[in-house]
Structure 1
Amino acid sequence: MQLYKSFLRQLIRNYMIGSLIAVLLVGGALMTTTLNVSYIESFRLLSILGGSFVVMLAVELFVFFKHIGIIRSALLQEDAALDQLEAAYLRTHRMPSLAVYRIYGPHLLGMSIPALIATVWMIHAGLLSIPLSYIWIAVLGAVMVASCHAMIEFFLTVAAIRPIVRELRRLALIRYGVDFSLEGHVFTSIRTKFLLSAMLIGTCPLFLFSLAVRVHMGQFYEEISRGYWGWAGIILMLGVGFAYIGALLMTQDVNRPLRQLYKAMDTVKEGRFIQTSNLYSDEFSSLIAGFNMMVRGLQLREERNRKLLESYFAALAAALDARDPYTAGHSLRVAEYSVIIGQLAGLNAHSIDILHKTALLHDIGKIGLRDSILLKEGRLTEEEFFQVKTHPAQGENILKQIEPPDAMAPFLEGVRSHHERYDGHGYPDGLQGKDIPLFGRIIAVADAYDAMTSDRPYRRGMSRAEALDILEQGRGSQWDPDFAGMFVQHMRRNLETA
């Protein structure tokens, strides 16, 4: 695949350029400009450097192709399984970190160990006239150069993997209908990347300069160089401290708005569309402004959906009530009374909203009743009443047909159980006491009160006072004693003040 070949070429090109700059240019320049050796010794040192570079290249390429093998198989196999694609997707995201591992492992060790062995051997053989102490200085220099190389390689690899990540997601979506996502997983945090990079940028040149000066002074100014590390150590500590403080402050400056956005996103996930304060004057100001604009859009859409849903429930209730002119508005009134009971019981706003919608739909199962039963002016026969008693279960079944299923789930229990009696003699399930769902117990009180106070073809509705007396008498037998009691007290207070 052309994409994989391009990716491979880019990684190898980035690595080769970084290695050549780090090993041959930086390392060679430091050696040839700081060491006062003959041409033949310079040639021997460069030969050691070149030979070690070949060893390092062989070892590191072996590890590199081992790391990239999973990605190669997933991209080049037309029948790659889903788990192969997922493994390649995760490995691709780890490639920047693996690049750092290769540079500190096979790269640094593959270069340093052969170079140390060859240099020590040449010094003992008299082929090099440099002090053995310089070897440790060279090791420190190699670590610093490798650190800078690792930083550059990390960010170059981050840019190189993006097309591969897109392609692996595309293949998984086309072949298996799965869209890969890290779901917020962080392989390397921004704080770590920013802090280490800023530290390296601030301290690496200072360390390399100190090492080079020590080597240079050691050959020409032996007396002066004896106290060099005491003086240089203070300068290095100050430089490292300054670089660390500067890097920490810059990292905090970047992390602060990011943490603010993370917190705001968690709030939005919880369903609370709250905008976050914009306290910044850099690019983060535009980012937070865009986030707040998105939240405002979500707020408008949520409000629109809420109104549509409320209209939908009200329309269903109105359609049901329209079948029977004698009970017009029954569902709306039951919903109103149910909300009053819910508020008296101390339910939260979310629960009251669900209660309101449930009460609007509590009689939706009556849609399935024949007009001859629903509109009958006389008393119902036993068979007809049996048909009426099916409407709670019918209502539940109707709501279960609405997609998605979880949208109607909160309303099912209340619709099914609003004709259960507290003493267990209700229908359809004969539930008793607290086994009856909460909304069913509340709606039962509201439904009974509205039914008693509404006119019917075969009788006039009773007065509110009479209906409240019946509710009082039925506490603990037909209705929940707590909900019936608080509703009766509330309505009687209203009658007294009317």
Structure 2
Amino acid sequence: MKTYANFIKKVISNYIAGSLIAVFGVGSVFIFSTISITPKEILLLFGIMMISFLCMIASDIVFLKFQLIPIKTGLQHDASLEEIKKAFDQVHRFPLRTIFRINIPHLLGFSLPGFSLAVYLYQLGLFSFPSYYMILAMVGAILIAGMHSVIEYFLTTSSIKPLLYDLRKRALMLYDQDLAQPSKIYTSIRSKVLFTAIYIGIFPLLLFSLATQVHLSEAAAEMTQEYWSWAAIVMFMSIAFSSFVCFLLLKDIGEPIASLEKGMRLVKKGKYEYRNEVYSDEFSRLIAGYNQMLEGLKAKDRINSLLTESLFRTLAMTLDAKDLYTAGHSIRVAEYAFIIGEHSGMSKEELDLLKKTALLHDIGKIGIKDSILLKDGRLTEEEFEEIKLHPVIGANILANVEPASAMAPLIPGVKYHHERYDGKGYPEGLKGENIPKFGRILAVADAYDAMTSDRPYRKGMPVSKALSILREGKGTQWDPKYTDLFLEHMENQGYLGEEVSS
């Protein structure tokens, strides 16, 4: 209920601030700058405003409590889905009902009591101005209430968002139902723009006309310098109000647009982030459509990822199937490489590329003659030189696969996974960190699997011995950082390398 408590605080603070500005700011300036009254009359009018202000707050509290009942019920821990739906609907309608909540208490609690008190004091002879001024003052009070309600509408629209998010989250968690789907428009943008634009245009003119009528009646003569200075005050207030409401309107429209723009930028980068914003106008449909589009993209992306991974695995298994002794080699190397990459802190995207590279790291062996590739026994120097061509052949194969942009990140690992850290490897004799990162990782993973796998001319060595050889060769044959990460992982799994003499 913390969200509800914060909402109530916001509603109350907005209302008090708006009321003070409307009643004692615009209202008092309008009255005291328009008519000529004595200090005693000023005190009496101020007293009437204070009493009317308290009556207005009391009547508003009654209206507010009535409007909050379904919202409070829907936020209870044991609320049913129907109660949450009613609360969600009530919160959506809250800004529009705020306009009625402000205007009716303003009329019943402020204008009528104020008018009645003024008439009573006028009959007692405590006011010297013309009696019809009180009717004009009541009309002015209604206009000011309208100004207050317009401002309060936009402030409330902003305040309800945490409540909407909380109610939507509750419905999803407790009843697996998204209240924003399908989206319902509670207040159209067209209505908001039309109402606001019309009110901004009419309010200053009505207020100015009303005040002019009073002032010209008092002047009963041609316009003077005093009149123009008074007119400047009224016009300044009108312009300030119009500018402020326009700012709120633009903010109300601009926020969801900015949110969607942010989402589209993320989609462009391949990041599918669900939009959780909840709106009461046409933007609700736009956000819902965006989220549905996102779900479609995610589904297609998952299918494409599965197809791509299946293709890579199929290629790896096809290659390994040529030699029964190396069957599963590429898949195991991919698993070991993934472990090293994960322990080095790679991102999900980078790990995916590393895994694909590992699955295809020996694809160049397709270009090596079977008589050499499947030979029982040790290779001659000439045969080994031909075997050493497979990284370059593999890189060339991938370079001709479309789309080239998808294959490009895989090529360095495929081409350089037989380079040595000390520069004595092949095909280019690269040294240290000049060897691409994927090549250095795959060198460790490939060597470990080669040492522990059976060959026609030898049995695979024990895990502990292979780990000892890796430890001994780090910094010369293999990258020390990635070798240590793999050794640490294997030792945590219970494998310990034994000392091996050089």
- Same structural fold, with TM-score higher than 0.5 when normalized by the shorter chain: yes
Q: CA deviation at 1:233?
A: 2.9
1:295 match: 294
Cα RMSD for the two superposed structures: 3.0
1:342 match: 341
In structure 2, relative to structure 1, the CA distance for the partners of 1:199 and 1:437 (3 Å cut) is: farther
Letter in 2 for 1:361: L
Q: CA deviation at 1:310?
A: 1.1
Letter in 1 for 2:489: H
> Identical aligned pairs, as a percentage?
53
**TM-score with structure 1 setting the length:** 0.55
In structure 2, relative to structure 1, the CA distance for the partners of 1:408 and 1:496 (3 Å cut) is: closer
- 2:407 equivalent to 1:408: yes
Contact 1:203 1:239 in 2 (8 A): no
Q: CA deviation at 1:267?
A: 2.3
**Residue correspondences, number:** 299
Q: CA deviation at 1:198?
A: 4.3
Within a 5 Å distance, the mapping from 1:384-399 to structure 2 comes to 384-399=383-398
2:364 match: 365
Letter in 1 for 2:318: A
2:381 match: 382
Q: CA deviation at 1:438?
A: 1.1
- 2:246 equivalent to 1:253: no
1:325 match: 324
Contact 2:464 2:495 in 1 (8 A): no
Q: CA deviation at 1:389?
A: 0.4
Q: CA deviation at 1:348?
A: 2.5
- 2:207 equivalent to 1:202: no
Deviations 1:58-94 (A, max 9, x none): xxxxxxxxxxxxxxxxxxxxxxxxxxxxxxxxxxxxx
In structure 2, relative to structure 1, the CA distance for the partners of 1:205 and 1:241 (3 Å cut) is: closer
1:265 match: 264
Q: CA deviation at 1:368?
A: 0.9
In structure 2, relative to structure 1, the CA distance for the partners of 1:438 and 1:226 (3 Å cut) is: closer
Q: CA deviation at 1:453?
A: 0.9
Contact 2:463 2:495 in 1 (8 A): no
Could you list the runs of 5+ residues in structure 2 that have no partner in the other structure? 1-188, 497-502
Within a 5 Å distance, the mapping from 1:113-128 to structure 2 comes to none
Quote the Cα distance in structure 1 between the aligned partners of 2:229 and 2:472.
96
Deviations 1:342-367 (A, max 9, x none): 22222232222211111111101001
Quote the Cα distance in structure 2 between the aligned partners of 1:484 and 1:242.
69
In structure 2, relative to structure 1, the CA distance for the partners of 1:423 and 1:241 (3 Å cut) is: closer
In structure 2, relative to structure 1, the CA distance for the partners of 1:439 and 1:238 (3 Å cut) is: same
1:452 match: 451
Query: SS of the counterpart of 1:376?
Result: coil
1:275 match: 274
Contact 2:204 2:235 in 1 (8 A): no
Q: CA deviation at 1:449?
A: 0.8
2:308 match: 309
1:493 match: 492
**TM-score with structure 2 setting the length:** 0.55
1:432 match: 431
Query: SS of the counterpart of 2:222?
Result: helix
Query: SS of the counterpart of 1:495?
Result: coil
Query: SS of the counterpart of 2:477?
Result: coil
In structure 2, relative to structure 1, the CA distance for the partners of 1:455 and 1:202 (3 Å cut) is: same
Query: SS of the counterpart of 2:275?
Result: coil
2:228 match: 229
Contact 1:203 1:240 in 2 (8 A): no
Quote the Cα distance in structure 1 between the aligned partners of 2:326 and 2:395.
21
Within a 5 Å distance, the mapping from 1:123-142 to structure 2 comes to none
Contact 2:331 2:359 in 1 (8 A): yes
Could you list the runs of 5+ residues in structure 1 that have no partner in the other structure? 1-189
Q: CA deviation at 1:238?
A: 3.1
Quote the Cα distance in structure 1 between the aligned partners of 2:203 and 2:280.
31
